[in-house]
Structure 1
């Protein structure tokens, strides 16, 4: 029996999303898209609004990442859409199935200079999997369904549709048939490629696996664990791959990655790009295996020994089932564990560092004591967040959100909104540099107004640390890298209806963090950190 839908264009657009699990709409109000609000209100979808359009898209991306399904942001025409472009690009780099609906000036008056008249599609096409204008009210259901399917088919990513005013406000002449919901086709990897990858890992003397975000978004965490355990291979993680193996697992490693990649004879990179974060896939003499979820994700700048491309859960399950020859990896695992244990002892000194000025490592030493195993931690910043990647070890998969390889600042408040919406009862902690605070802190008001409590920890060193220290090394001086020292970002949050405090002494961190998590409101802990403390960076950005 077929299902039909009537009403205006907003009703049709949201009805087409129903089968994809979309129950919310992130937005900033605009007259071009009022029918979407009307439809959401009558259908019982939650509307969450923000103070800047990029936060709406970031919030939708957080939901898409955490819940592994499409999520939707609605932006008004012209500047509403262009304000969201950096966030859409972030979703493209992260493989996040975000649907962005844009308003559009009316077609029948196109070219006459209507308010916010702009052809968005050429701007969005390069940073989405699909971008189009819906030309007729009767086309809305089919076009939205097609955009959502594009977002979740193959390697996931964002899709964009804009709706001319008369299309979204219009009514179809007759009820429109809703399409039957189909799961996207499963991409099957070449079995020979999978068998070669398994044999290389199993037969290596010193193998290593690096697992990235697509392992989580592809629901392949259990299969990764089984593959690692069956083949006895140490696992390192990045992005949302963090937590795939809990820190206490015998094959979970983090502190010995440089040594492992220097000495390994086979490195398998699973579900993440061979970009600057992984030295572009150059691991010296090691044989490279690159396992991706879609052939389009295969690297073009380097040629791996083998690159299975297909559903990651199926590929990793096949690795877990491998029954061929296996070398003994116990000595290799023990060697890495000794390096790991030594590094952890060194870390402990940094985590407990005291002194007149607070080191970022001490902030994380105190956070480790109060964060629950299933806390969602969100990174939005440069140096301060780099320390988070070093010292925080998520114990639960899907609990780490960072901007990803595009490196866009300003994700913090949007990601916090999406995370709190997804997990009403978990700790949500935003780790933010004072530079990043300038991009999105006004959206604390959105969190306060919509009763979305989160904890925000700002590492306030009064500089753009990611730029100041390297520029000084290059030129002996720096410019455009200083911020006002000691700014009271907690006062900003209080002024917006939240709460907070400034911490200038390491001994006061514990109490401040406990008060923050107990507060039940957006609470900012403004930590004055040492501006001379520079993260020891080794990434080759180009």
Structure 2
């Protein structure tokens, strides 16, 4: 332990650094000035935004990409409530984000101080840990407890309130080293799970974001290869097996789930994205990083809960009998290749207006293998999941199962701060652009170049097409057609252009990635084109 003396901001910063926090995202507010003072004097980077939700989303991007805590500092009252959507997304995504909130002074509580509201009951349902710090000497221990909770699987956000008189006070306190417990899975449950996979004739693995978060990507690959099981991925699990790997699949999932006799879902919930775990006659194995993540609406035949890397290593080391799967893998590969040929045709199609598939066909030509790709939208981003295949794990960011739009600019900031030398590409629907595009100014001002590709079809496609199918009409689903979102970014100090012809896409994207400033490519896409959605959302 280390004893230090300072005001509340200095005590907080020392505790944050012990857990590997390296920057803060914020929107300026007087309630949290001591945190800024501590950071400024220590050379600790501060990145500020135009809306608090972007600060939390930026912190979440850091947490997702680097697998270390992300920090957002929000002023009292509306500063905190503006960040609730970001907290909720982090909660659903299992992202270790810490939000430090300013708070009206306790000694005047009830007198009507500026922005006086009790935040904790508001954020408690969407955090793993939420508390108010009572005194300055308690700040380091409170931050340690919050970050330990955030980092303990199943990971998630934490919140601490710092009342005005607490954070401005000077005190002495001990700074303890980071402590994060890891859970151990029941060995018998692990044995049951791997025996089911090894003995299946037509097994399938579906791996999700927690495989990345738990640093279990290499163990997943070793397990899949040892047991010879086809792998499909979602979320940040995408790219865990590189495209071209014999066991990596993305386009044959329907055929795989229809024919499988054992489905092992690893590190992702059995939610609407996976048909709520209804895989027909297949036996279900659900491998999770904590008992709290076990499905309650289905009864898996086995459900190991604990350190995913250790569980998957045990899968790879299985010494029992193993059924060969060559014919099963070969059949799925034929289905995969047929779908791939269809997608290739869609990604090169000449059409007027432009189809989303062509946008992604051109993007595939310019994206580098380690590019960070960010999805913020409905139909347009659904197509990104269909056509883009991350070459490496930990390079794909989307809003996750909560489905909150507006993540784009915050995620872009967190990604650029995390990886100064990589391509950062935000894929944004024109509806999603309305939530956060003003934060392009934050990127410009702080010299954080990113490429923003807007699929501009002038509608809320995720709502318009289904509503017309249900009712024969639609309401509240239209946007102004052909808006110049590139002009907005240009007015904010960046650059951009509008593309209306498919043949102009490639050169526009090359200019965007070479620009060295936030650059928006505004692509006018076909409003009649509807994503072929088959999943039941509820």
For the superposition of Structure 1 and Structure 2, which TM-score range results when normalised by the shorter chain? over 0.9
Does 2:132 correspond to 1:136? no
**Structural mapping, 1:404-483, within 5 Å:** 404-483=400-479
Alignment-derived partner of residue 168 in structure 1: 167
Look up the match of 1:59: 58
Counterpart of 1:345 in structure 2 is 341
Q: Return the offset for 1:171.
A: 1.0
Identify which range, 36-45 or 214-223, moves more after superposition: 36-45
Q: How does 1:87-486 map to 2 (within 5 A)?
A: 87-172=86-171, 175-182=172-179, 184-486=180-482
Superposed, which structure 2 residues align to 1:508-523 within 5 Å? Answer: 508-523=504-519
Aligned to 1:466, the other structure's residue is in SS state: helix
Residue 149 of structure 1 aligns to a residue whose secondary structure is helix
Give me the TM-score of the superposition, normalised by structure 2: 1.00
Deviation at 1:181, TM superposition (A): 2.8
User: How much does 1:153 deviate?
Assistant: 1.3
8 Å Cα contact 2:148/2:178 also seen in 1:
no
State the Cα deviation string for residues 259-312 of structure 1 (Å, max 9, x = none): 000110000000000000000000000000000000011011111011000100
**For residues 372-398 of structure 1, what are the alpha-carbon distances to aligned partners after superposition, in whole Å with 9 as ceiling and x for unaligned?**
011000000000000000000001110
Q: Is 2:37 aligned against 1:41? A: no
Q: Take 2:296 and 2:383, find their aligned partners in 1: how far apart are those partners?
A: 31
Q: TM-score, normalised by structure 1?
A: 0.99
Decide which moves more: 132-141 or 448-457: 132-141
Distance 2:47 2:208 in 1: 30
Following superposition, the deviation at residue 101 of structure 1 comes to 0.3
| 1:23 positional shift | 1.1
- Partners of 2:22 and 2:324 in 1: how far apart? 50
SS in 2 for 1:486: coil
Paired residues, number: 538
Instruction: State the alpha-carbon separation in 2 of the partners of residues 388 and 498 from structure 1.
Output: 24
**2:6 is paired with a residue of what secondary structure?**
coil
SS at match of 2:455: strand
CA distance in 2, matches of 1:180, 1:84: 29
User: Equivalent residue of 1:162, what SS?
Assistant: strand
**Runs of 5+ unmatched residues, structure 1:** none
Cα deviation for residue 180 of structure 1 reads 3.0
Q: How far is 1:177 from its partner? A: 1.3
CA–CA distance in structure 2, aligned partners of residues 3 and 135 of structure 1: 21
- Aligned partner (choices 486, 490, 495) of residue 486 of structure 2: 490
Mapped to 2, the partners of 1:163 and 1:188 lie a distance apart of 35
Post-superposition offset of 1:539: 1.1
Secondary structure of 1:331 counterpart: helix
For the residues of structure 1 that align with 2:177 and 2:411, how far apart are their CA atoms?
Answer: 32
CA distance in 2, matches of 1:84, 1:359: 35
Contact 2:19 2:177 in 1 (8 A): no
Render the CA deviation track for 1:7-65: whole Å, top value 9, x for unaligned: 10000111111111111010000000000000011122100000000000000000001
How many angstroms apart in 2 are the aligned matches of 1:370 and 1:285? 42
Secondary structure of residue in 1 paired with 2:47: strand
Please give the alpha-carbon distance, in whole angstroms, between the structure 2 residues aligned to 1:320 and 1:18: 36
Separation (CA, whole Å) in 2 of partners of 1:511 and 1:23: 37
Measured after TM superposition, the shift of residue 179 of structure 1 is: 1.4
Q: Higher mean Cα deviation, 456-465 or 136-145?
A: 136-145
Name whichever of 84-93 and 15-24 sits farther off.
15-24
1:530 aligns with 2:526: yes
Q: Note the alpha carbon deviations across 1:77-109, whole angstroms, 9 max, x for none.
A: 000000000000000000000000000001111
| Deviation, structure 1 residue 154 | 2.4
Q: C-alpha separation between the residues in 1 aligned to 2:230 and 2:530?
A: 30
SS of the residue aligned with 1:404? coil
Structure 2 SS opposite 1:93? helix
Q: What is aligned with 1:50?
A: 49
The answer to whether the 8 A contact 2:18-2:176 is kept is no
Contact 2:94 2:157 in 1 (8 A): yes
Give the 3-state SS of the residue equivalent to 2:58 in structure 1: helix
Partner secondary structure for residue 4 of structure 1: strand
Runs of 4+ in structure 1 off by over 4 angstroms are none
Aligned equivalents of 1:106, 1:370: Cα separation in 2: 53
SS in 1 for 2:444: helix
Deviation, 1:185, is: 1.9
Distance 2:259 2:79 in 1: 50
Whole-angstrom distance in 2 between the partners of 1:478 and 1:514: 37
